[in-house]
Amino acid sequence: MYFAIFYPVLVIITYWRFTTSKQNKLLFTEREHEIYNEKIVSNLQNGSTSTIFIDSFVKTFEIKDAYLLYISKNQSMIFPKRHFKSKEDENWFRKEIFLRIKHSR
């Protein structure tokens, strides 16, 4: 009985601590991506940048509203479909990046 009450509270507290922790601040920093044929450059809100070459991705997965590009087994970059500026941009991404990674693995 008590488990049914305290477990959801414990989960909420754990999630809140994770999202507000200074150690995890980078995970929740707003970022903008520049996508090129050979690399993806991420510009973080704090001014830093990171570059991931297309050859570094190990797997792709498409869900209803987003493309997932996996850097490792448990880490992915998520590109929501609604964030593409046009249908042409999304089609270019799908053909030149997403499917190229998918077929090379």
pLDDT in tens, 3-50: 777 888 888 888 787 777 777 666 667 889 999 999 999 998 888 899
Does any domain span residue 39?
yes
Cα end-to-end span (Å), the chain? 49
d(CA 86, CA 105): 28
> Do the beta carbons of residue 61 and residue 68 sit within 8 Å?
yes
Does any domain span residue 98?
yes
Number of separate domains in the chain: 1
Does any domain span residue 18?
no
- pLDDT score, position 82: 95
As a whole number, mean pLDDT of residues 80-95 equals 95
pLDDT for 51 beyond 70? yes
- pTM of the entire predicted model: 0.73
pLDDT, averaged across the chain: 88
Assign 24 to helix, strand or coil.
helix
- pLDDT score, position 38: 95
Domain span including residue 44: 30-104
pLDDT in tens, 12-21: 888 787 777 7
CATH number at 40 reads 2.30.29
Does any domain span residue 54?
yes
d(CA 70, CA 91): 19
